[in-house]
Amino acid sequence: MKKNLFLMIALLSALTLNVFSQDEMKKDEMKKDEMMKKDAMMAKAVTPDDAAKTALNVGAKMPSFTLSDANGKSVNSDDLLKKGNLVVVFYRGAWCPFCNVYLKKLQENLSNIKAQGANIVAISVENPDKSLSVAQKNKVEFTVLSDPNLDTARKFGIVYQLDSATDEKYKTYGLDLVKMNGTTKPELPLSSTYIVNSNSEIVYAFHDVDYKKRAEPSVIIETLTQMKKAMMSKKDGK
C-alpha cells in the first residue's frame, strides 16, 4: 500500500514538473516570438533612402485624397484639380523651422503661381488646429490640410521612420513624434513637392532625403509656365 502511494506521489510530482517545464518552454517560445517580431519590425523600418526610391515620380497618377483643412472642412483633390493645376507640398510640421521658411516662400510667390493657373495645397500629419496655427503663423493664403496617420503621404510613397537615435534626439528637444502626431511609429514624410495637371498626372516631382532641401519656387513657376504654354498651343492647334 505504502509502495503504491509512493509511486503515485512520484508520478504526480513528475507530471507536475513536466507541466511546469512545458509552461516555461511556452513562455520562452513566446518571448522568442515577440523578439523576432520586434526584430522584423525594425528590419522593415523604411529609411529616408527607401522612401526616396518608392516616392511617386513624374508620369505617375496622383492618388485621390480627401482631407480636412485648417477649419475642419473636407477638401477633395479631385475638386481642387477642377480649378486648375495643383502644387502639392508635404511638410514635416509646425515645429520644423525649415518648413515654415519654405511655406513663407511659397506664399511670397503665390500670386505668380496663381497667374500660371495653379493652386497650392500644403499637407502635414498634424491635426487641423496645428494646420490653422501654421497658416496663421506664416500668413499663408493657400490651403493647409491635415493628413492623419500619414495615410495620404503613404499613398505617395514618401513616408519613412526615424531611426531610434534620431527619435531619442528629437525627444530631448521636446519632440515626441508618436505622441504629437498620434501615430504608432516615429514617422515623417520626405519634404516633397509635386506639380499635378488637371488629369491627375504628376508633371514635376521633388523629394530629397535632406529635409533642408526644398523645390525652389522659381522652378515651380517655370514648370507651370511651360505647362500653360503647352496648353495654349494645344488649344490654338499649333
Mean pLDDT by 10 residues, the chain (238 residues): 56 54 63 51 77 96 95 94 96 93 94 96 85 69 93 97 95 95 95 96 96 96 94 72
* Domain assignment of residue 203, yes or no: yes
Predicted pLDDT of residue 234: 74
Predicted pLDDT of residue 146: 94
Read off the C-alpha cell for 78.
479631385
* Domain assignment of residue 118, yes or no: yes
* Domain assignment of residue 34, yes or no: no
* Domain assignment of residue 199, yes or no: yes
* Domain assignment of residue 14, yes or no: no
| Domain of residue 73, residue span | 59-236
Residue 116 contacts residue 227 (beta carbons within 8 Å) = yes
Residue 93 contacts residue 58 (beta carbons within 8 Å) = no
* pTM for the structure as a whole: 0.79
* Domain assignment of residue 222, yes or no: yes
Read off the C-alpha cell for 106.
511659397
* Domain assignment of residue 12, yes or no: no
Please write the tens of the pLDDT for every residue from 15-45: 555 544 566 666 667 656 654 544 444 457 8
Domain harbouring 69, CATH code: 3.40.30.10
Residues 6+ apart with CB under 8 A from 231: 117
The count of structural domains within the chain is 1
Predicted pLDDT of residue 11: 56
Residue 67 contacts residue 74 (beta carbons within 8 Å) = yes
Q: Where are the alpha helices (DSSP H) in 87-210?
A: 97-108, 110-115, 128-137, 151-155, 164-172, 177-181
Secondary structure of residue 202 in the 3-state scheme: strand
DSSP string, 91-118: ---TT-HHHHHHHHHHHHTHHHHHHTTE
Cα 36 off chain centre by: 26
* Domain assignment of residue 162, yes or no: yes
Residue 69 contacts residue 147 (beta carbons within 8 Å) = no
Strand 143-146 and strand 118-124: pairing? parallel
Residues 6+ apart with CB under 8 A from 170: 162, 176, 177, 186
Predicted pLDDT of residue 136: 72
